[in-house]
Amino acid sequence: MAASKDSLLHVFDDMRKELELLCAEKARVAKRIAILKETMMNLVHFSADKELIAQAERLQIGARRRKSGLTELCRSILIESARPLTTREVCDRASEGVRHHQDALASVTTILARLSSYGQVERLRDAHSDQCTWRWAQNRTSNPHF
């Protein structure tokens, strides 16, 4: 019986390791897809070329499958901010966008964490107050291949 338990634990541990690797890979792929889509959208907007616009439409680049108003609002707030903001500050500035949310702070926190996993925002910790702040990842637009 002990041998089967050891085998089970070994198999489980192997599966856990594989799951961790796949989750890390999924995050890298999602980040890369977001960067490529953003870069392609910028090319379309800057060129205003009809062929590029048609290709972007066929690829559904920029098409929204679900309403993401609060996500876009959080992005805009951080892009426009001259300094890193706390989650509460982002939430306060997004007051119109969070009106219908039951727990606005939780919604904004979730969005900021997701944008961080995509590499779009950076999470910082203030050494003096131990408070978490967020800022737009400056290097996203200068190096689309990271």
DSSP string, 97-143: TTTT-TTHHHHHHHHHHHHHHTTSEEEEE-TTT--EEEEE-THHHH-
* CA dihedral of residues 140, 134, 62, 66 (deg, nearest 10): 150
50 and 32 part of one domain:
yes
Strand-pairing partners, residue 49, are none
pLDDT of res. 59: 79
CATH number reported for the structural domain that contains residue 74 in this entry: 1.10.10.10
The rounded distance, in Å, linking the Cα atoms of 55 and 68 is 23
User: For the chain, what percent of residues have pLDDT higher than 90?
Assistant: 34
Range of the structural domain that residue 100 is part of: 69-142
Q: Per-residue pLDDT tens for 69-108? A: 888 899 889 999 999 999 999 999 998 778 888 899 999 9
When computed from its CA atoms, the radius of gyration of the chain, rounded to whole angstroms, is 20
Q: How many independent structural domains does the chain possess?
A: 2
Residue 19 falls inside a structural domain: yes
Higher pLDDT pick, 92 / 141: 92
pLDDT digits (tens, 9 = 90+) for 108-132: 999 999 999 888 899 998 777 778 9
Rounded Cα distance, 134 and 93, in Å: 13
Is residue 12 in some structural domain? Answer: yes
Q: Taking all residues of the chain, what is their mean pLDDT, rounded to a whole number?
A: 82
